[in-house]
Amino acid sequence: MTTPDFSFTLAAQHGQARAGTLRTAHGEVPTPTFMAVGTAGTVKAMTADAVRATGAKIVLGNTYHLMLRPTAERVARLGGLHKMMDWPGPILTDSGGFQIMSLAKLRKLEEKGVTFRSHIDGTAYELTPERSTEIQHLLDATITMQLDECTKFPATHREAKESMELSIRWAKRSRDAFVKRPGYGQFGIMQGNVYEDLRRISAEALQENAFEGYAIGGLAVGEGQEMMFSVLDYCTDFLPADKPRYLMGVGTPDDLLGAVARGVDMFDCVMPTRAGRTARAFTSNGIFNMRNARFQDDTRTLDANCACLCCTRHTRAYLHHLFRCEEMLGPMLLTIHNLTYYQNVMQGAREAILNHDYDSYCADVRGQWQRGPDA
Ligand SMILES: [Zn+2]
């Protein structure tokens, strides 16, 4: 069997909302899709089988964490990230830049790249566009991200422009360093903060590199949902229709529905996994805190519309008990459920787009969230 080319095809569009298929060396991904975050070569609290059972088709790995431990070279010696984490499907890795700026110590950003010290042991590192691309190759990432600078929010027009221009120069260097292989792709990252003219310039400049896909970066950094949606309203128009669009680091189920309506195809966020470890459940009837005493005698299933292991085998009262006792099964079960819920929302969105019924799907899902745990 020959490896398919990396491709993206649209099956349907309803308004701006798109249903498509991403084809890669490691399998196909129906879109819109949510990528579970597998930070350090593991989706926290989940076996690879459990991740698969949620319906996930693609996961994300973090370059920053993996370059520190166990190092990209060691991952390569161990057979690559797919083999190491028992995930033969597609993997997208980030460039490392965002986490350096949020986690690393003594970081310094210059034209050539970023120098920083590890938050673990203080060791000095340098990450350039070329090295980030090389690391992602060593990890065997199906989708490589360019190194960029995520502009802070708020930023003045001048700050946002200078930062965006640096990301454009780094996009070219990342692209030049990328080794093209059948079924593998590299995404450029649009920046420009909340300024429409800068977003347009960024999108146009990125396309000179003919990336296999485009990410929208620099959102969900404190601007709020209303502003994020108003930026997305024009951002997706600046990107080519025949390439996948990935909104980085977003978000709540409501954010996802709104972004899909604005033409986004791919998402990643730590929210369902992190919330699962802290007793927050995303359900058809809204967000519950499983530590709440209201659940201590509640023998109902967590979410009657969910077929996950947590919802088919356990009660709300048991989940409440597990979190009260800080048993590790609580985070495991709730991570399984939250990721399944996110996948269900995206799968429902896809079906609705294919049926040209996306608006009423969103209205139904949002209406149900208002009903609360006693519905
Ligand atoms: Zn469930």
Dihedral pair phi/psi, residue 241, rounded to 5°: -70, -25
> Is pLDDT above 90 for 3?
no
Residue among 140, 265, 268, 303 flagged as catalytic: 268
> Is pLDDT above 80 for 1?
no
State in Å: Cα 142 to ligand 1 middle: 29
Mean pLDDT (whole number) for 134-153? 96
CA dist., res. 34 & res. 345, Å (int): 9
Neighbours of ion ligand 1 (CB under 5 A): 303, 306, 308, 310-311, 337, 340
Structure tokens at 347: 């799968």
The fraction of the chain above a pLDDT of 90, given in percent, is 95
pLDDT at 153: 92
> Is pLDDT above 80 for 2?
no
CA dist., res. 283 & res. 37, Å (int): 19
pLDDT at 28: 98
Structure tokens at 175: 């692209």
CA dist., res. 373 & res. 281, Å (int): 11
Mean pLDDT (whole number) for 24-29? 98
Structure tokens at 107: 């970081």
pLDDT, tens digit (0-9, with 9 covering 90-100), for 95-109: 998 988 888 888 999
Residue among 94, 148, 255, 265 flagged as catalytic: 94
Quick check: is 303 catalytic?
A: no
Mean pLDDT (whole number) for 32-43? 97
User: For 222-370, where are the alpha helices, taking DSSP H only?
Assistant: 225-235, 253-261, 271-277, 309-313, 316-324, 329-354, 358-369
Quick check: is 298 catalytic?
A: no
State in Å: Cα 281 to ligand 1 middle: 9
Query: Could you give the 3-state DSSP secondary structure of residue 277?
Result: helix
Continuous segment of H or E residues that includes residue 340: helix 329-354
Q: What is the longest distance spanned by two Cα atoms in the chain?
A: 60
State in Å: Cα 322 to ligand 1 middle: 16
Cβ–Cβ under 8 Å, residues 154 and 103? no
pLDDT at 375: 84
CA dist., res. 133 & res. 114, Å (int): 14
State in Å: Cα 304 to ligand 1 middle: 8
State in Å: Cα 135 to ligand 1 middle: 36
How far does Cα 274 stand from its chain's mean position?
13
pLDDT, tens digit (0-9, with 9 covering 90-100), for 234-254: 999 999 999 999 999 999 999
State in Å: Cα 65 to ligand 1 middle: 29
The fraction of the chain above a pLDDT of 70, given in percent, is 100
Q: At what angle do helices 196-207 and 225-235 cross, to 10 degrees?
A: 50
Residue with tokens 């398919």: 4
Q: Which amino acid is at 150?
A: C
First to last CA, the chain: 51
Q: What is the DSSP secondary structure assignment for residue 244, as one 8-state letter?
A: -
State in Å: Cα 91 to ligand 1 middle: 24
